């Protein structure tokens, strides 16, 4: 069943949008293009990005400062071109979304407003396997407020012998200790395991006990369907260089639910772009922030960094997250079947949930037998042209991104793993 010809037939019937992207060449193996599974770390470049970025650069060369108003895409209101597609991507109202800064900067700016420890309510709840940057950010926020990070930051761990959090355990903790929780800040899709947390249920549980609930959507935006407004999420932030394919270090996004807009009790850091656009050039000393997520902006936006984000969001608008999510489930399910079929007796196990509703397009593999994750991914790349992602000591992440990955890529990855991993009691195949 799981032959190369079968994979190619599947691609003919369910082709995706690979033609919109530059695919890196393979550095090993028999195929010209790499089988690229690292889109959960850095997405591939859309072919339209270069030309559209050059258009913006040409306007600068042609117009100088007048480009703020006269460019083909005028720079002064440029960030507004990204607002509505970003809002559609995460299920927000246009007033609730803004593209700005980088992910951790946005988390800090949002925590200025939404982490307000008082009395016994001081705790910040994160997952134990949170991305290190999130751990550093919440610990530094606790310390900034004069609190002991070791006591303030609560790291929720899976049950003994399990790899992923259970929703009921998160909810039970909040019901039991919620009166001491100021902020819940979890990853929508866990970077290490690929688990999709139950965002609406956890959000409801956190808000029910009086906590603010925010989400790091670095691995969720562009990967899974989101309805942040309907779910009542207080705030969220995401990057755009992974599934959103906007380039290394690309601008990030932020979301603030409309119930918080215009709230004078919320502390915020402010700058020139925090004030109403209509009065910005009056140059008054006191800000007049808009009743929208734009109030959390500080600096004027970097135009040449915004261009690739805009180009990528156009692709998502054209294809649609619903269609991408459906193809993601088919493609990831196929890769899972291939791994089950082709790796018997190999020292490997999938730690990502088997239920498609509890994961995005990432499968994380725990590698045993003393084979280091970095060593394995290097061999996959240089011997087979398969680019995967290592998280030492023993996790290899494979992300079949529905925009550009193929069934044939999945077949190549499973075949390469079978050829590289030693069979139990034997040598490499």
CATH number of the 4-45+321-420 domain: 3.90.1150.10
Task: Confirm if 243 and 43 have CB atoms less than 8 A apart.
Answer: yes
Query: pTM of the predicted model, to two decimals?
Result: 0.96
Angle between helices 48-63 and 303-319 (to 10 degrees): 140
pLDDT at residue number 20: 98
pLDDT at residue number 427: 44
Task: Confirm if 279 and 337 have CB atoms less than 8 A apart.
Answer: no
pLDDT at residue number 423: 82
How many whole angstroms separate alpha carbon 271 and alpha carbon 412? 50
How many CB atoms lie under 10 A from the CB of residue 151? 10
Give pLDDT tens digits for 60-79.
Answer: 999 999 999 999 999 999 99
Phi first, then psi: what are they for 334, rounded to 5°?
-65, -45
User: What is the pLDDT tens value at each position of the chain, 429 positions in all?
Assistant: 789 999 999 999 999 999 999 999 999 999 999 999 999 999 999 999 999 999 999 999 999 999 999 999 999 999 999 999 999 999 999 999 999 999 999 999 999 999 999 999 999 999 999 999 999 999 999 999 999 999 999 999 999 999 999 999 999 999 999 999 999 999 999 999 999 999 999 999 999 999 999 999 999 999 999 999 999 999 999 999 999 999 999 999 999 999 999 999 999 999 999 999 988 889 999 999 999 999 999 999 999 999 999 999 999 999 999 999 999 999 999 999 999 999 999 999 999 999 999 999 999 999 998 899 999 999 999 999 999 999 999 999 999 999 999 999 999 999 999 999 988 655 443
C-alpha dihedral (160, 161, 163, 166), degrees to nearest 10 = -50
pLDDT at residue number 422: 87
- Three-state DSSP state, 100: strand
- Three-state DSSP state, 330: helix
How many whole angstroms separate alpha carbon 310 and alpha carbon 395? 33
- Three-state DSSP state, 383: helix
* 77-318 topology per CATH: 3.40.640
pLDDT at residue number 279: 87
pLDDT at residue number 425: 55
Domain ranges (residues) in the chain? 4-45+321-420, 77-318
pLDDT at residue number 429: 36
Determine the distance from the C-alpha atom of residue 357 to the mean position of all C-alpha atoms in its chain, rounded to a whole number: 17
pLDDT at residue number 428: 42
Task: Confirm if 414 and 339 have CB atoms less than 8 A apart.
Answer: yes
Give pLDDT tens digits for 87-107.
Answer: 999 999 999 999 999 999 999
Q: What residues contact residue 336 under an 8 Å CB cut-off, 6+ apart?
A: 350, 354, 363
How many whole angstroms separate alpha carbon 304 and alpha carbon 298? 18
pLDDT at residue number 367: 97
What number of CA atoms fall less than 13 Å from residue 3's CA on the CB side?
4
Equal CATH topology for 4-45+321-420 and 77-318: no
How many CB atoms lie under 10 A from the CB of residue 319? 16
How many whole angstroms separate alpha carbon 90 and alpha carbon 100? 15
């Amino acid at each position: 069943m799981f032959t190369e010809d079968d994979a190619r037939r599947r691609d003919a019937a369910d082709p995706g949008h690979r033609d919109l992207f530059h695919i890196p060449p393979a550095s090993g193996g028999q195929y010209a293009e790499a089988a690229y599974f690292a889109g959960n770390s850095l997405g591939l470049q859309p072919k339209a990005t270069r030309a559209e970025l050059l258009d913006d650069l040409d306007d600068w060369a042609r117009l100088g400062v007048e480009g703020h108003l006269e460019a083909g895409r005028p720079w002064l209101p440029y960030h507004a071109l990204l607002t509505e597609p970003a809002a559609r991507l995460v299920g927000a109202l246009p007033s609730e979304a803004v593209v700005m800064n980088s992910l951790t900067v946005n988390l800090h700016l949002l925590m200025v407003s939404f982490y307000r420890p008082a009395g016994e309510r001081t705790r910040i709840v994160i997952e134990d396997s949170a991305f290190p940057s999130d751990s550093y950010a919440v610990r530094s926020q606790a310390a900034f407020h004069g609190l002991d990070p070791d006591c303030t930051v609560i790291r929720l761990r899976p049950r003994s012998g399990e790899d992923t959090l259970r929703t009921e355990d998160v909810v039970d903790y909040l019901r039991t200790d919620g009166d001491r929780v100021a902020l819940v800040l979890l990853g929508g899709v866990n970077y290490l395991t690929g688990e999709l947390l139950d965002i609406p249920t956890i959000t409801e549980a956190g808000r029910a006990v009086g906590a603010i609930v925010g989400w790091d959507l670095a691995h969720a935006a562009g990967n899974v369907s989101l309805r942040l407004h309907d779910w009542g999420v207080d705030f969220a932030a995401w990057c755009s260089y992974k599934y959103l394919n906007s380039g290394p270090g690309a601008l990030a996004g932020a979301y603030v639910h409309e119930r918080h807009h215009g709230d004078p009790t919320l502390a915020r850091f402010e700058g020139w772009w925090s004030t109403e656009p209509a009065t910005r050039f009056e140059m008054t000393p006191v800000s007049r922030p808009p009743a929208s997520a734009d109030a959390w902006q500080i600096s004027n936006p970097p135009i040449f960094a915004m261009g690739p984000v805009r180009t990528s969001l156009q692709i998502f608008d054209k294809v649609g997250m619903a269609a991408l999510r459906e193809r993601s489930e088919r493609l990831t399910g196929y890769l899972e079947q291939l791994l089950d079929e082709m790796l018997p007796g190999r020292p490997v196990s999938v730690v990502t949930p088997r239920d498609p509703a509890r994961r995005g397009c990432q499968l994380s593999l725990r590698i045993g037998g003393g084979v280091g994750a970095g060593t394995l991914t290097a061999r996959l790349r240089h011997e087979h042209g398969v680019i995967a992602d290592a998280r030492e000591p023993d996790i290899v992440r494979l992300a079949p991104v529905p925009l550009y990955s193929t069934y044939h890529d999945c077949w190549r990855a499973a075949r390469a793993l079978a050829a590289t991993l030693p069979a139990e009691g034997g040598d490499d195949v």
